[in-house]
Structure 1
Amino acid sequence: MKYLMPAVVYEENEAVWNHRAELAALGKCALIMTGRHSAMANGSLDDVKKALDDRGVSYTVFSEVEENPSIETVARAAEQGRRDKADFVIGIGGGSPMDAAKAAAFLIKHEGKGAADLYDASIDSSAVPVAEVPTTCGTGSEVTAVSVLTRDNGTKKGSIPHKIFADLALIDGKYLMNAPLSVIRNTAVDALGHLLESGLNSDRNDYSIMFVREGLRFWNGIRDILTGDRAIDSDSAMKLMHASALAGIAIAQTGTTVPHGLSYTLTCELNMPHGAAVGYYLGSYLKEAYELDPEYAREFLELAGFSDPSEFEEFFAKVCDTGEAPSAVLNKAYETILPDKKRLSTASYAIDAEVLKRIARI
């Protein structure tokens, strides 16, 4: 049995300001990576700048990280960091900027390496220090070693082979307060996917299950926000972030499984938000688990507040109205995952071609 989560995590009001000394201790010049809008709108970028200014640390800002970041974007960010002598990286935002920050930290460490080298497993996985400031409630990237990028003009999406944990994670629910409900819904469904996929996973152990159970309890406590029956407030915003972090710690132990593997095709082909794409397959994955791993499947669904997989599917249809994906895309997702025996083996129950067809909804 193994437990690994080397990031130092602070989850509190004004986390960035309160721990500015630890943030500044990571280096002399930060490459700050954000998306094009949200970090400016929610105040997180200003908070990080203020914290660094207070400690006399210089920085350069790269604000061009797109949703589902490409390897080319990461390479451009790393080049800016090298040019401006950055010796650590701060990712601010959802999964896209935070994943991109880890990948850029890898490239900055390896002088002369570029986009084509990000998926080269023969290179050692060392990186310059990384801090993460999450502003959404789903990815958990602040506490995982995963960096998911796109390549081949956005037609392929997957994790780079290099496992890079943040050195410091600063979590504050205030950045979620003004997020669109659609973003909260999609990212919270992603967090639920992390919890359920970690729990219904062949690599689960006592440590991961502990985080799954606690995460599901917190997630269930904010479910009415996702359905629109209650407005978000500062307390529930922090609970959403807490559930997301617990989910991230859980998958840091086990990894994700089949729903995530299938989801990447929906995102690449249909531009479906990542959380919605994961949720699209969660119901069918749970239905199989109800038959093949019933003890854990029933316990975890009940902790999330659902009586059975069908009730989850009704909830998902309400909060993430994806409609039905085209059959050609569903078939492509199935055909992409079918030969991936390693991915299929991560499920907590045996998956053959027929079981996978049912999970893939074809």
Structure 2
Amino acid sequence: MIVLIVDDDQTNLALFSHMLKAIPDVKPVTMAEPIAALAWCASNDPDLVLVDYMMPELNGLRFIQDFRDLPGKTTIPVVMVTADIDTEVRHRALQLSANDFLTKPVNKTELRARVTNLLALRAAQRQLSTRAVWLAEEVAKATSEIVAREREAILRLSRAAEYRDPETGAHLLRLSQYSRLIAANLGMGTAEQDLLGDAAPMHDIGKVGIPDNILLKPGRLDAEEMDIMRTHAKIGADILRGSTSPLLQVAAAIALTHHEKFDGSGYPHGLKGEQIPLYGRIIAVADVFDALTSARPYKPAWEIDRAVALIRDGSGSHFDPVCVDAFFQDWSSVMAIYEKHRDEADA
């Protein structure tokens, strides 16, 4: 372990170095200039510092203060060596986080005992630090595995819904990416973007509870059929709610609210404005745009310009204007997603 000795007296440096060499596994590093010693510490980590109090360039108190200000040096033990018995100096050194004192002339037995004890504490501290890093890595690994399993569950549930819903897997992929894009343009962090993108494919999971004669009907639904179809939002929320998983919680909120409208005319609860969760407002824009520009059993795909006009016309009534602006903010990326994951039927 490295012990840095800072003293402007070459005799003291030689004496302390000689005393410390008797301690196993200790390497003394001597420096007569405190400013140079601080520069060395900026790129090196000693395990212990012995610093003299009375030095011409920088006294021991100022050295300790500047040393502690260096990154990563707050926990390295420091011992002040001084002939001064003034208690005020010692009190000030303690305030600056000195760990121990030695008084000149230094007794070699006392020096070795104190250095050995402080190095033992330093070794234990480093072991704890290493252990903490290892634990953090293990926690991150376990968390990553949990998130991966959650994503797999979401994907499989979404695929199950696909077997009954005329929408395609490409729709779910485009929806996820459109939603991430809107979230990014709204200034959401990467973690929130990922959460939204991973949860988005579950928006219509409730359609598994809709009878085939309604879900797969090629023509327009009558009023009674439409009422039944609209229950898919609550069914989806019922399937997903109650989980401790943040991902499934977001998916439940999306399933319940992505058909709400900004003016309060949507379903199932007629929420208005910011009463609708932001995730639901984002999905509303992405889902309607993709539904319009995709072919379905009951309609052909709309032209892009026609879909854009409908989204813009619905800003403030159907859609949150902020989300609409965020969607069109990076139109080249929207078109890149559309072209990359375009359905064959649409093409």
State whether TM-score is above 0.5: no
Of the two structures, which has the highest relative contact order with CA contacts closer than 8 Å and spacing of 6 or more? 1
* Bigger Rg, structure 1 or 2: 2
Q: Could you say which structure has the higher helix fraction?
A: 2
TM-score normalised by L of structure 2: 0.27
TM-score normalised by L of structure 1: 0.26
